[in-house]
Amino acid sequence: MTRTIVESATKTVIIGFDEPFCVIGERINPTGRKLLAAELEAGNYSTIERDALAQVAAGANILDINAGVVYNSNPNPNETEPPLMRSIVELVQGLVDVPLCIDSSVPDALEAGLEAANGRPLLNSVTGEEERLEAILPLVKKYNVPVVAISNDDTGISEDPDVRFAVAKRIVERAADFGIPAHDIVVDPLVMPIGAMATAGQQVFSLVRRLRDELGVNTTCGASNISFGLPNRHGINNAFLPMAMGAGMTSAIMNPVALPISQKKIAEKKEAIEAAGIILPESMEDEAFVALFGMGSTKPLAGSEMQAIRAANLLTDNDPHGAAWIAANKPAGEAGGRAGRRRRRG
C-alpha cells in the first residue's frame, strides 16, 4: 500500500490510498499578486500569517509555500526568492503545526526551503524536463523528501493522456536511478480546463486510475484548473474533487477556505436588502451580517470544496465511524438555534 510520509516537527501526514484525502493549501503564493509582493518587499508578512491560520482552520493538511515574488528593488528571483522562502517557512512553522510543501521554480529557493523546514516537507516540483530532473532529483535524494512530479517534459504539456502517463513513468524511473522510491513521488497528471477540453475530466479520472494501478504512486493536482473560465467554478470543483477521489486521487493543491466573501458583495447585498424595505442597525459587523444573510461563513459551507472532500472521505470509507463528518456537521437546527439565542439582545 503506497504511503507518502510528510512531516512537520510534530505532525505526520500520510498521503495514501487508504487515507483521508490530503488537502495542500495553495494560498501562500505571491505569484501574480502585486499587492502581496509589495507587502513582502516592505517586510509585512500579515497576509501570509492570515492565510496560514485560515487554511489550517479550514482543514488544510499541508501548506504549500511559494515565494515567487518580483521585487521593485530587485527583479531577479534567483536572488530574492531563496531568502524570502526561508523567512516564510520559518514564520509559518512558528504559527501552525502542519507539514509544509516547498514550492518554487528556483532550485536555490527549494534548497533554502528544505534547509529551513522542520521534519519532512514535500518538494514541489520536478517535471520530466531534462534540466529540471537533473536539478531537482539530487535535492530530493539529499534531503530524503517526497516530491510532486508534474507530467510535462521538454516538449511541453501534451493533450494526449498517454503521453502524460509516459512522462510520469519516466520521472518515476529516473527517480529510481537516484534511489528515490515510487512511494515518495506524488504525480500531478495535469488537469486541463473542462471549458477548453471536454474530455479533461475523463482524462484525469483514467490517468489517476492508471497511475495508481500501474505505477503505484500517489497523485495530486491543481484542482481548480478544471473550472477555469467557466461560471460558478465552485460548483464544478465540488463535483470534480469527489469524482477524482472516486477514481483514486489522494491529494490536491487547492484553496480550502470556503467561499471568501468580498466587501463588494456585502455592499451589494446591503443595498438589495435596504431596497426591500429592511432596516439594518446602524453598525453591524460583517461576520454577523454574512452569517444572518446566508452569504457564507468562515466555516465550511454546503457546497464548499472542503465539505465535498469530507463527504467523499466518508464515501470511500476513509472516515472511521464517520467521526470527521459528524464533527464538521452538527445538525443545522441545533447550530442555528444556539446562534439565534446567543445573538439575542437585552
Q: Which of residues 214-243 bind its own copies (CB under 8 A)?
A: 226, 230-232, 234-236, 238-240, 242-243
CA separation for the pair 286, 266 (Å, rounded):
8
Count Cβ neighbours within 10 Å for each residue of 255-274 and write b for 16 or more, e otherwise: bbbbeebeeeeeeebeeeee
Q: Does the protein bind its own copies through residue 205 (CB under 8 A)?
A: yes
Is 177 or 282 the residue whose CB approaches its own copies more closely?
Answer: 282
- Written as nine digits, the cell of 96 is 501552525
Looking up cell 465540488, which residue turns up?
238
Choose the stretch contacting its own copies; rule: CB under 8 A; options: 21-29, 171-179, 217-225, 284-292: 284-292
Q: Does the protein bind its own copies through residue 277 (CB under 8 A)?
A: yes
- Written as nine digits, the cell of 301 is 459551507
Q: Does the protein bind its own copies through residue 34 (CB under 8 A)?
A: no
Q: Does the protein bind its own copies through residue 1 (CB under 8 A)?
A: no
How many residues bind its own copies (CB under 8 A)? The answer is 72
Q: Which one, of 281, 279, 287, lies nearest residue 263 by Cα?
A: 287
Is 67 or 208 the residue whose CB approaches its own copies more closely?
Answer: 208
Number of residues assigned to the chain:
346
Choose the stretch contacting its own copies; rule: CB under 8 A; options: 7-15, 42-50, 131-139, 332-340: 332-340
Q: Does the protein bind its own copies through residue 315 (CB under 8 A)?
A: yes
Cβ within 8 Å of residue 158, ≥6 positions away: 152, 164, 167
The enclosing H or E element of 102 equals strand 100-103
Q: What are phi and psi of 152, to 5 degrees?
A: -120, 160
CB of 261 to its own copies, least distance (A): 11
Q: Hey, CA dihedral for 190, 185, 93, 96, is it positive or negative?
A: positive
Residues 61/23, Cβ–Cβ less than 8 Å: yes
**Which of 154, 173, 271, 287 is the binder for its own copies (CB under 8 A)?**
271
CB of 56 to its own copies, least distance (A): 21
DSSP state of 192: P
Q: Does the protein bind its own copies through residue 43 (CB under 8 A)?
A: no
Query: Residue 6's beta-bridge partner residues?
Result: 13
Terminal alpha carbon distance of the chain: 59
Q: Does the protein bind its own copies through residue 160 (CB under 8 A)?
A: no
CB of 221 to its own copies, least distance (A): 13
Looking up cell 516530491, which residue turns up?
147
CB of 126 to its own copies, least distance (A): 28
CB of 294 to its own copies, least distance (A): 2
CB of 311 to its own copies, least distance (A): 3
Q: Does the protein bind its own copies through residue 345 (CB under 8 A)?
A: yes
For residue 199, the one-letter residue type is T
Q: Does the protein bind its own copies through residue 71 (CB under 8 A)?
A: no
Q: Does the protein bind its own copies through residue 35 (CB under 8 A)?
A: no
Q: Does the protein bind its own copies through residue 257 (CB under 8 A)?
A: no
